[in-house]
Structure 1
Amino acid sequence: MFRYLKNDLPASIVVFFVALPLCLGIALASGAPLFSGLIAGIVGGILVGALSGSHIGVSGPAAGLAAIVLAAIGTLGGYQNFLLAVVLGGAIQIMFGVLKAGIIGYYFPSSVIKGMLTGIGIIIILKQIPHFFGYDSDPEGDFAFFQVDGENTFSEIFNSLNFISPGATTVAVIGLAILILWDKVLSKKHKVFQLVQGPLVAVVVGIIFYVATKGNEVWGISEDHLVSVPIPEDAASFFGQFSFPNFSLITDPAIWLTAFTIALVASLETLLCVEATDRLDPRKRVTPTNRELLAQGTGNMVSGLIGGLPITQVIVRSSANVQSGGRTKMSAIIHGFFLLSSIILIPRLLNMIPLSVLAAVLFIVGYKLAKPALFKKMYQLGWKQFVPFTVTVLGIIFTDLLVGIGLGLAVGVVVILIKSYQNSHFLHIEDKSNGRHRIKMTLAEEVTFFNKGAILKELDSIPKDSYLELDVRKTRYLDNDIIEILEDFSEKAKNRNIDIKLISERGEVENPDSYIEFFKLRPKSA
């Protein structure tokens, strides 16, 4: 595990800088204590990272659960009551893992997963534009279209243009230039530039800029545009930030309903992120999904027990890990230790980091997830791939992650039905001999009631005085609805002078009297 520490350590630093503001921002968007987001980030990094079978996935508080958390805290009557739901939700996730529910993640089409990655990349960029210019009305981690500050993604961008901070924007541009130079030029020049990551340099420059311009009316960066880690005065105040569940409400149905909601949404989001992260992995390793549910459930139980938010695997951090060269789970674990040690040892230094510099870091993460070339590639694959992909992307941008994926999946199912409709039978071969049309229809391997319309249309279009060869030798499953259509057509065929030859594995039958009886006699596998 320590073999690739030279890769994992620099990657963990980048993930740390990405995770820090998101942990705080998601807590703020959830209406929870800021420290709860950090607890979830630490537990997600250290504990879930250690238990998970994912090599490059990184877990922490999830933006997709922010709205659920915000509503649940109010409904359940307080944060400690909500923590009990988090603990129970974790236990339910463990049950999902034991029941091997992780297989669900494999049933999402590739086009939807690619759309998910691209949509998240675009939404990261759009959400970071206001922070890039020094406008922080909406907290980091609020990735929904309709925001907690009453604005939406695009109105927030337009508002930010009226509140541009010269200092924040300047240091963001400098940070972005450093990141691009590091990625495109310096990292290829010498190994030292691979060991020392560009985001670390950008953050250091941001801190220096803040200190150097502090107090300057034009170029100074206001304190509300800095990272805001809670600073305890002593050990007692530090431990006083932890909260504990109210177990006296364990029989309350509302608690269990919230717990099940958390478990279901967190599990689904995790499985989707696992599928997407495995696709990003350059080594194409496969994460055991049931083990992932067990790890996430354990993490949520521990997080809830000590006052943390719910945890899922998070694609933003996972993709930052991949892009920074992370090779093993050590990068996720080390990033968790960085979170823990930094809030204890250097919280004041962390609170000097401008959010606009971190926005520049996330710009790069977002761009690498949503490269324009991917749209061209998906378009070239045809409409059956491009339409679900596009719907997923637009759904994520204009709603939220799970709704966008649900829309993409629904369109994907419709595409499958259309393909099934089109592929129910093979091309007819027609010729005309002795004044009669000779037509051959070969049914597909599986023909279900979805194919009724296509087959009925073709049969009704057969002209009078024809000779039809119906080949079912390749057919392994024939729905009863199709058999009934054939039965009905045999009556029509007599009136239209159409002769039918049924060709099967058992031989050939001219004008069979009963299709139902014929197929009943066939082996079940056929």
Structure 2
Amino acid sequence: MNTVKKLHTKSRAIDITQFQGDFRGGFVSFLVAVPLCLGIALASGAPLFSGIIAGIVGGLVVGLFSRSALSISGPEAGLIVVTLAAIESLGSFPAFLLATCLAGLIQVGLGYLRAGIISNFFPTPVIKGMLAGIGIILIIKQIPHLIGYDADSVEEISLFQPEGFNIISQFRLALEQLNGVAMLIAALSLTILLMWERPVFKTNAFLRNIPAALVVVVLGIAINGLVSVVAPHWALKGNHLVQLPVADSLSGFFGLFTLPDISQWTNPQVYAAAMSIALVASLEALLAIEASDQLDPLKRKTPANAELKAQGIGNLVSGLIGGIPLTSVIVRSSVSINAGARTKRAALVHGALLLVCVITLPTVLNQIPWASLASILLITGYKLTHVRIFKALFNDGIAKFLPFVATVAAILLTDLLTGIGIGMLVALFFILRENYLNAHKTETFQADGRERILIRLGDYVSFLSKASIVQSLTNVPDNAIVEIDSSSSSYIDSDVMSIIQNFKETAHLRNIQLVFLRETVNPKPIPESLLAMRNRHLREIQQLE
């Protein structure tokens, strides 16, 4: 009885600790989400409040339907270009909302078609490279905010813009507009965030339950409030603070929502825009949940097809009530994880706080300095791109390290999707190289005065192995004995079978004796699902003899 009671007490303590971590994660991601939702809506050419709507839907609706434990959804910088282009091509925001609804339906359809399988083809070095690249950009993009330059409030995943704006000119402008109050808030905020990671704070029963981000935000508001009383001309104002739309009445609040223009359903451009939104949002979501799973301390795996359905439902709802497109956002997710989130409750807390605060506390949120939020994002970026990640992949060898570095560099120089594409190409090169080198093993020795060549085929002999096998058979000298051992093969591609058949038919012209070996005991266990396939290919080899 006592044992059962102890287990129950222990389980309850774990639940309480987990809830506290989820609340911290949801709270911190909420703080980060407010200015980013507004900034992304602004950059997309959409009403500011449409970004907040997407953030609320991403937290509550996607959070409810998603089976991801840690991913948090909302408007994301990678969707800015496609959103801006769609609004311009359609000519009205209500027509764009209809396209967003249709994009959601397309995503649900992709989920039922099991298109989420594409997420299984992203190599781990590329995913880690994506996280590290985002981390570096977060760090670099926060530095101007830390010294008081807040003109660029959108954390876009690119250091270089199409119109030529780059991080060098941003730093130059920032240095010309230094702000002592912002620098003081940033310095104190970073000190607190770093101190909260120390064991003395983590083990303290009282302090470990207080989100460091909450302390940072309250401190930033307090310092700026004190400065506004003592020296008003030094106080942070305007774009140095969060800028949330404030409704003067209940009708004014509901006036911030917009309905889709259903009459545009016959416009073919609506469907083209919907397809673009669906494809970009789906790819971003699959990449983000894969990255979130990499950061998950419990190493859980999110069902990709279920996530596509959840994202589709989210975009459908967002479009119906006036929100811009949304997707899973790795920046918000990683902030939440670093703050202690362990379940999807964090996403629900994030969405609920957005909804409650934009209704009841918009003026309070508008007092938060950007320097405080930038400090939170900078620490998140530091954790994403820690030097130990580079060391670990370097120790894993060039086949892991180069795709990782290529992904990081490409993301820094281009954008998120282009960078991942380049990283995938580099990873594919090493995959093909590895397949080429390990398709088979060749051993050469002398017996009875003749050269004997033993070719051991690998486990999975695909068409990618064709070139190396052709080269090995072409290099066989005249009068040799060639033994082909396929006992370890669970699959042999028909192209490879044709190569062996052609070699058999011409071997006698060079006095080459061809022998096929099959061991009764397979040194490598074969899954039952592949046994039938293996036996079929073994029968085909028998027919060659």
**Which of 208, 227, 242 is residue 257 of structure 2 equivalent to?**
242
Equivalent in the alignment of 1:253: 268
Instruction: State the superposition RMSD in angstroms.
Output: 2.5
Q: Distance in 2 between matches of 1:523 and 1:502?
A: 8
Matched, 1:231 2:255: no
Alignment of 1:163-174 (within 5 A): 163-174=177-188
Q: Which amino acid aligns with 1:196?
A: I
Contact 1:28–1:139 (CA<8 Å) still a contact in 2? no
1:48 Cα deviation from its structure 2 partner: 1.4
1:477 Cα deviation from its structure 2 partner: 3.2
Q: Distance in 2 between matches of 1:500 and 1:463?
A: 13
Q: Distance in 1 between matches of 2:227 and 2:162?
A: 31
Cα distance, 1:523–1:349 mapped onto 2, change above 3 Å: farther
TM normalised by structure 1 equals 0.91
- Cα deviation, 1:297-335, whole Å, max 9, x if unaligned, reads 111111111111111111111111111111222221112
- With 350-359 and 390-399 compared, the bigger mean Cα shift is at 390-399
Equivalent in the alignment of 2:476: 462
Q: Distance in 1 between matches of 2:542 and 2:483?
A: 21
Equivalent in the alignment of 2:93: 79
Q: Distance in 2 between matches of 1:115 and 1:295?
A: 26
Equivalent in the alignment of 1:147: 161
Q: For residue 389 of structure 1, give the secondary structure of its aligned residue in structure 2.
A: helix
- With 280-289 and 78-87 compared, the bigger mean Cα shift is at 280-289
Equivalent in the alignment of 1:305: 320
Equivalent in the alignment of 2:56: 42
1:492 Cα deviation from its structure 2 partner: 6.1
Matched, 1:369 2:384: yes
Cα distance, 1:519–1:44 mapped onto 2, change above 3 Å: closer
Equivalent in the alignment of 2:137: 123
Q: Which amino acid aligns with 2:356?
A: S
Q: Distance in 2 between matches of 1:159 and 1:426?
A: 60
Matched, 1:478 2:498: no
Gaps of 5+ in 2: 1-11, 521-536
**Which of 42, 52, 66 is residue 80 of structure 2 equivalent to?**
66
Q: Distance in 2 between matches of 1:472 and 1:446?
A: 10
Q: Distance in 2 between matches of 1:23 and 1:288?
A: 26
Q: Distance in 1 between matches of 2:131 and 2:198?
A: 22
Matched, 1:9 2:26: no
Gaps of 5+ in 1: 507-517
Contact 1:166–1:218 (CA<8 Å) still a contact in 2? no
Matched, 1:96 2:110: yes
**Which of 68, 71, 75 is residue 57 of structure 1 equivalent to?**
71
Contact 2:442–2:453 (CA<8 Å) still a contact in 1? no
Equivalent in the alignment of 1:181: 195
1:360 Cα deviation from its structure 2 partner: 0.5
Q: For residue 221 of structure 1, give the secondary structure of its aligned residue in structure 2.
A: coil
Q: Which amino acid aligns with 2:259?
A: F
- Cα deviation, 1:215-269, whole Å, max 9, x if unaligned, reads 8488432422111111112222221111111111111111011111111211121
Q: For residue 500 of structure 1, give the secondary structure of its aligned residue in structure 2.
A: strand
Q: Which amino acid aligns with 2:310?
A: A
Contact 2:151–2:239 (CA<8 Å) still a contact in 1? no
Equivalent in the alignment of 2:373: 358
Cα distance, 1:212–1:20 mapped onto 2, change above 3 Å: same
- With 487-496 and 296-305 compared, the bigger mean Cα shift is at 487-496
Q: Distance in 2 between matches of 1:391 and 1:47?
A: 36
TM normalised by structure 2 equals 0.88
Q: Distance in 1 between matches of 2:391 and 2:171?
A: 27
| Paired residue total | 513
Q: For residue 221 of structure 2, give the secondary structure of its aligned residue in structure 1.
A: helix
Alignment of 1:303-342 (within 5 A): 303-342=318-357
Cα distance, 1:433–1:328 mapped onto 2, change above 3 Å: closer
Matched, 1:381 2:412: no
Identity %: 45
Q: Distance in 1 between matches of 2:117 and 2:462?
A: 25
Q: Distance in 2 between matches of 1:458 and 1:377?
A: 36
1:58 Cα deviation from its structure 2 partner: 0.9
Q: Which amino acid aligns with 1:474?
A: S
Q: Distance in 1 between matches of 2:344 and 2:457?
A: 50
Equivalent in the alignment of 2:458: 444
Q: For residue 440 of structure 1, give the secondary structure of its aligned residue in structure 2.
A: strand
Q: Distance in 1 between matches of 2:158 and 2:298?
A: 32
1:497 Cα deviation from its structure 2 partner: 4.0
Matched, 1:266 2:247: no
Q: Which amino acid aligns with 1:224?
A: N
Q: Distance in 1 between matches of 2:502 and 2:316?
A: 60
Q: Which amino acid aligns with 2:152?
A: D
Q: Which amino acid aligns with 1:137?
A: A
Equivalent in the alignment of 2:525: none
Contact 1:29–1:141 (CA<8 Å) still a contact in 2? no
Q: Distance in 2 between matches of 1:307 and 1:9?
A: 28
Q: For residue 426 of structure 1, give the secondary structure of its aligned residue in structure 2.
A: strand
1:157 Cα deviation from its structure 2 partner: 3.2
1:150 Cα deviation from its structure 2 partner: 4.4
Contact 1:29–1:142 (CA<8 Å) still a contact in 2? no
Equivalent in the alignment of 2:38: 24
Contact 1:221–1:354 (CA<8 Å) still a contact in 2? yes
Cα distance, 1:35–1:496 mapped onto 2, change above 3 Å: same
